[in-house]
Structure 1
Amino acid sequence: MTTKTYAALLRGINVGGHKKVPMAQLRTLLQGLGHGGVQTYLQSGNAVFTADRGDEDSLAAELRTAIEEHFGFAVDVLVRDGTYLRAVADACPFPAADLEAKQLHVTYFSAPVDATRFAAIDQPAFLPEEFRLGDRALYLYAPEGLGRSKLGEQLSRPALNKGLIATTRNWNTVTRLVEMTREAGPEAVR
């Protein structure tokens, strides 16, 4: 079997004292599921691991079930392989190297999205903020940061994300997860 490296992106944990998932316990949980090379990044629900079975969807479902059984609450989970994470970072339509990490964000989606989902948003009204779509991802340029972003607020409306799991990471986290999946990958173990 081929071992692949993945990142698990948990949505909405450790925010305002709700849905507390300590990273040490998340690492133990992933190891208990039989995954190797487990590492976490920050307290916002980012974990990297290797697996020699399953695919992104089945691994996400397995982790979602394990979290609910262990912690007693449901958490949305996306799992993406390292190749996908690198492709998303490489395809960034904004000049990432020229921006502060707080100005650039990626929202990862559980399924492909197209422009019709966001057609009601009057993009010019939000300039200089802007967004572009990618492969199961949305790139947001918010010069004042996500906390002050009016466009980000519009993009996070439940109606726009209906039927999807959507979770956002700033550019520092995006690039760090790329590095971590590269470092933890089977090619790094040799």
Structure 2
Amino acid sequence: MTTYAALLRGINVGGNKKLPMAELRALMTGLGYDSVQTYLQSGQAAFASAHGDAGSLAAELTGAIEERFGFSVDVLVRDHAYLKAVVENCPFPAAELAGRQLHATYFSEPVTAERYADIDPAVHLPEEFRLGDRVLYLYAPDGLGRSKLAEALSRPRVNKGLIATTRNWNTVVKLVELTTPGA
């Protein structure tokens, strides 16, 4: 049995794509997933599954949500080992920062620095970003809502062809905790 987190993009934001967490848990349990837990209302679920891989589980969950709720939601699924590696490989001093200052954007596939070549890092200092394995780490000392770098990084032309979803560091760490086997 492998433990995973499902990251749903753009639900329960501004009254759009309303997806109650109790209904998401019931849907996931109905799909045969074990130990289903949700975290916050913004689209995180931890679960265990003995079948499939991250890609097939994401496709299955995407289809089930569309069938049940009538709207499409991008879903990324990542296993515990990957989530733990994201935390362990953070290039910023996470322990010294407030959770609102550090974010991880998870991607559907690997990204290269060339994708961000038009963004001049010096213009956005003290904000910074670094790339990892299908993840972008963003240090935004004044928070994501005020971040000009986050705005530049999230432009559609920059992320064309990708599913991308961002979580603050508190959520990143909580997902590791929730997907720890036996937790």
Give the aligned residue type for 2:102.
Answer: L
Deviations 1:108-138 (A, max 9, x none): 0000000000000001000000000000000
Task: Choose from 125, 128, 131 the match for 1:127.
Answer: 125
Instruction: Report matched runs for 1:35-46 at 5 Å.
Output: 35-46=33-44
Structure 1 runs (4+) deviating above 2 angstroms are none
1:80 alignment counterpart: 78
Deviation at 1:175, TM superposition (A): 0.2
Identity %: 69
1:92 has 2:94 as partner: no
TM-score (norm 2): 0.99
Match of 1:6? Answer: 4
Separation in 1 of the partners of 2:50 and 2:156? 35
Residue 158 of structure 1, aligned match among 153, 156, 159:
156
Amino acid at match of 1:134: G
Aligned partner of 1:48 among 46, 49, 52: 46
Provide Cα deviations, 1:21-40, integer angstroms capped at 9, x if missing partner. 10000000000000000000
Q: Distance in 1 between matches of 2:46 and 2:119?
A: 34
Give the C-alpha shift of residue 57 in structure 1.
0.4
- Aligned counterpart, 2:105: 107
Give the CA deviation at 1:145. 0.1
Q: With structure 1 as the length reference, what TM-score do the two structures score?
A: 0.95
2:23 is the counterpart of 1:15: no
Structure 2 unmatched runs, 5+: none
CA distance in 2, matches of 1:26, 1:82: 20
Aligned match of 1:69:
67
The offset of 1:14, in angstroms, is: 0.2
Q: Over residues 123-175 of structure 1, what are the superposed CA-to-partner deviations in whole Å (9 max), with x where a residue is unaligned? A: 10000000000000000000000000000000010111111100000000000
Amino acid of the structure 1 residue aligned with 2:10 = G
Match of 1:28 in 2: 26
Q: Which residue identity lines up with residue 154 of structure 2 in the other structure?
A: S
Q: Secondary structure at the match of 2:119?
A: coil
The CA distance in 1 between the partners of 2:90 and 2:127, in whole Å, is 15
Aligned equivalents of 1:159, 1:26: Cα separation in 2: 31
RMSD over equivalenced CA pairs, Å: 0.7
CA distance in 2: counterparts of 1:88 and 1:15, whole angstroms = 25
Structure 1 unpaired stretches of 5+: none
> In structure 2, what residue type is equivalent to 1:105?
H
